[in-house]
C-alpha cells in the first residue's frame, strides 16, 4: 500500500478525504514512494482558521515561554538530524551528506531565533518632551504564510518558521509537493517541543493552495522561495491583496577567477558549488568566468575532478552527487545540454552519458556536465537551469568579467577567486549582487546575517532570516506616554509645549 502524506492542521494529521493528490517519487529508483494530498479551498480555509484561533494565546505568550519552545525544538532537531537528513535524501535525491549539511544550517537558524527576547527589544527615549517618554514596540503581524521550494525541504522552512513564531505569529507552511515529508516531520517535532496546536500548520498542494494563501484576508504576510517568474507572481498577487511579501527568486551565480588565483582551489570550488545537490540550489555556481590566460588550465582541472565524481543514490555513503528530483525536471535539464550543443558551446563533459549508477536504471540520473566557451546569448547562460550544468565563459580582463556579472538580470550570489586583496575589495564594492564570496564558492550567510539577492533574485525589500527576518515578521508601534505628577495642579487642555 502506498504511504499517504497529508496536511498537519491544529496539531495533528488531517483526517479528511482529499479530492486531489500527487505522487512522491524516490528519485534514485523512479518508483512512487508515497501519495500526497493536495489542498482544496476548504482545506486552505481550515488551516488558516486554525492559525487564526491559535493567534491570540500565542501572541500573548511571554517571550520566555516562546523561547523555551524554540530551545526544546532545537534540541529535538539536533538529536534527530540524521533522521531528517534521510527523509530529505529519500524524496529530493541529494546525497545524505548534503542533506545533513542542509539540516545543520537549519539548526543554525533555529539557534538564532532562540535569541528572540534580545532581538525584539524596542527603543526608549526618556523625557523626549518635558514629562513625556517615547518608546517603540515590535509586535507580531498575525497569521503568516510560508511557501517553500523542493530543493531545501528542511532548511528553507526553517529560515522562516522559527523567526515567525518567535515573534508571536502563527504560521501556515506550504512545502513543495515533490518532497513534502520533511515539513510534517518538522511540525511534529515542534509539537513535541511544546508548541501549542494551531501555531504551525502544514498545507500540501499546488497552485490552489498557493493562491488560497495569497488571497486569504486573514493571512498578513507571505515568505516565498522559488523561481523568478513564480516569485514575481507571488509578490504581485500578495501585495495586491494587501500583504507584506518577501519573495526570493532565481539566480545565475557567477564565479570570477582571476589570473593570480589558486587554480586548484578554484577548480575544487567550481565542482562542489556547481554539482553539489545536483545543481538544484539557488546558490549553485552555474557560470565560471575565467579571466585570460587561465581558462584552458582551469577547464582541464575542473574536467579532471568531474571524472572522479561518483553519481549514485543518496543513501549510498560513497555517492557524491544524487539524481534529479523528478523525471520531468531531468528531461528539462537534459534539453539545455542539447541546446548548448546546438548553440555552438564546447561540451567538455557530457552528463547525459550517466544512465545507471548505484541506484536503479529507472532513477532520474544526469551526470555533471561542463560547457566551455559559452557566450552570454546562449540559453545555457541566460536561463536558470537548476541542474548539474556548469558553463565557462572566457573574459579578457577584470573589467570585462565584472561587466558580464553586472549585466545579468539576476543578482543572488557571486564569488571571486584571487590572491589580490585590492582586486577582491574592488569587486565586492562594484559587483551588483546581494551576496559575495571571496575565495568562497557559495556565499550563503550564517544565521545571524540575512540571506537575499538583488535585481530579479528578490521581490520585496526584506531578506530572509537573521535580523531582517525578525523585522519582516513584526510591525512597529510607537507609544508617546505622559504620566502627570500628582502635584501638577489640574488638567491643561492646551497644545503641549516644549519648555
Average pLDDT over residues 485-490: 66
Mean pLDDT (the chain, rounded): 95
Q: What is the pLDDT of residues 362-409, one digit of tens each?
A: 899 999 999 999 999 999 999 999 999 999 999 999 999 999 999 999
Domain map (residue ranges) of the chain: 3-249+457-479, 253-438
Per-residue pLDDT of 21-53, as tens digits, reads 999 999 999 999 999 999 999 999 999 999 999
CA dist 41 and 49 (Å) reads 12
Residue 1: predicted pLDDT = 56
Distance between CA atoms of residues 201 and 10, nearest Å: 6
* Half-sphere exposure (Cβ direction) of 192: Cα atoms closer than 13 Å: 14
> How large is the angle between the packed helices 398-407 and 421-430, nearest 10 degrees?
30
Q: How far is CA 375 from CA 114, 283, 288, 424, in A?
A: 47, 21, 12, 25
- For 253-438, the fitting CATH number among 3.40.50.620, 3.40.309.10, 3.10.20.30, 3.30.70.640 is 3.40.309.10
The C-alpha cell that represents 418 in the structure block: 584571487
490 has pLDDT over 60: no
**3-class secondary-structure state, position 498:** coil
Can you tell me the distance from the alpha carbon of 284 to that of 271, in angstroms, rounded to the nearest whole number?
A: 10
Reported CATH class of domain 3-249+457-479: alpha beta
- How far is Cα 363 from Cα 27, in angstroms, rounded to an integer? 5
Q: How far is it, in rounded angstroms, from Cα 82 to Cα 88?
A: 10
Catalytic residue among 70, 269, 282, 464: 282
pLDDT of 497 reads 66
Average pLDDT over residues 276-290: 95
Question: pLDDT per residue over 103-143, tens digit each?
Answer: 999 999 999 999 999 999 999 999 999 999 999 999 999 99
The tens digit of pLDDT for each residue in 56-99 reads: 999 999 999 999 999 999 999 999 999 999 999 999 999 999 99
**Would you call 282 a catalytic residue per the annotation?**
yes
User: Exposed, middle or buried: residue 43 (CB in 10 Å: 0-12, 13-18, 19+)?
Assistant: buried
Amino acid at each position: 500500500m502506498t504511504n499517504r502524506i497529508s496536511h498537519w492542521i491544529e496539531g495533528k494529521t488531517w483526517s479528511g478525504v482529499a479530492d486531489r493528490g500527487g505522487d512522491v517519487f524516490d528519485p534514485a529508483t523512479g518508483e512512487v514512494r508515497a501519495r500526497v494530498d493536495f489542498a482544496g479551498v476548504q482545506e486552505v480555509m481550515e488551516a488558516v482558521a486554525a492559525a487564526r484561533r491559535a493567534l491570540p494565546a500565542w501572541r500573548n505568550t511571554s517571550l520566555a515561554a516562546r523561547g523555551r519552545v524554540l530551545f526544546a525544538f532545537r534540541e529535538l532537531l539536533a538529536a534527530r538530524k540524521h533522521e531528517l537528513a534521510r527523509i530529505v535524501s529519500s524524496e529530493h535525491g541529494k546525497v545524505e551528506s548534503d542533506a545533513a549539511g542542509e539540516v545543520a544550517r537549519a539548526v543554525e537558524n533555529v539557534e538564532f531565533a532562540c535569541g528572540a527576547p534580545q532581538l525584539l527589544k524596542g527603543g526608549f527615549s526618556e523625557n523626549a518632551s518635558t514629562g513625556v517618554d517615547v518608546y517603540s514596540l515590535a509586535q507580531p503581524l498575525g497569521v503568516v504564510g510560508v511557501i517553500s521550494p523542493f530543493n531545501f525541504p528542511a532548511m528553507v522552512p526553517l529560515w522562516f518558521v522559527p523567526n515567525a513564531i518567535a515573534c508571536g505569529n502563527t504560521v501556515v507552511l506550504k512545502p513543495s509537493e515533490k518532497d513534502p515529508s520533511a515539513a510534517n516531520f518538522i511540525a511534529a517535532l515542534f509539537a513535541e517541543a511544546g508548541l501549542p496546536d494551531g501555531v504551525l500548520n502544514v498545507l500540501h498542494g499546488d497552485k490552489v493552495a498557493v493562491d488560497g494563501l495569497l488571497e486569504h484576508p486573514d493571512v498578513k504576510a507571505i515568505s516565498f522561495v522559488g523561481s523568478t517568474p513564480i516569485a514575481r507572481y507571488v509578490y504581485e498577487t500578495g501585495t495586491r491583496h494587501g500583504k507584506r511579501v518577501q519573495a526570493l527568486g532565481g539566480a545565475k551565480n557567477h564565479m570570477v577567477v582571476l589570473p593570480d588565483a589558486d587554480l586548484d582551489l578554484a577548480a575544487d570550488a567550481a565542482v562542489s558549488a556547481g554539482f553539489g545537490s545536483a545543481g538544484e540550489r539557488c546558490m549553485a555556481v552555474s557560470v565560471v568566468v575565467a579571466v585570460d590566460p587561465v581558462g584552458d588550465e582551469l577547464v582541464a582541472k575542473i574536467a579532471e575532478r568531474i571524472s572522479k565524481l561518483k553519481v549514485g543514490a543518496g543513501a549510498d555513503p560513497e555517492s557524491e552527487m544524487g539524481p534529479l528530483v523528478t523525471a520531468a525536471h531531468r528531461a528539462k535539464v537534459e534539453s539545455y545540454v542539447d541546446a548548448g550543443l546546438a548553440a555552438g558551446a564546447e561540451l567538455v563533459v557530457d552528463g547525459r552519458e550517466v544512465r545507471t549508477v548505484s541506484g536503479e536504471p529507472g532513477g532520474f540520473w544526469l551526470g555533471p556536465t561542463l560547457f566551455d566557451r559559452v557566450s552570454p546569448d546562449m540559453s545555457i547562460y541566460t536561463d536558470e537551469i537548476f541542474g548539474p550544468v556548469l558553463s565557462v565563459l572566457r573574459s579578457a580582463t577584470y573589467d570585462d568579467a565584472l561587466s558580464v556579472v553586472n549585466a545579468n538580470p539576476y543578482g543572488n550570489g557571486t564569488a571571486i577567486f584571487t590572491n589580490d586583496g585590492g582586486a577582491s575589495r574592488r569587486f565586492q564594492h562594484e559587483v551588483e549582487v546581494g551576496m559575495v564570496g571571496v575565495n568562497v564558492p557559495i556565499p550563503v550567510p550564517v544565521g545571524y546575517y540575512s540571506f537575499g539577492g538583488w535585481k530579479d533574485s528578490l521581490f520585496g525589500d526584506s531578506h530572509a532570516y537573521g535580523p531582517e527576518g525578525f523585522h519582516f515578521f513584526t510591525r512597529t508601534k510607537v507609544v508617546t506616554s505622559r504620566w502627570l505628577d500628582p502635584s501638577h495642579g489640574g488638567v491643561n487642555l492646551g497644545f503641549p509645549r516644549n519648555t
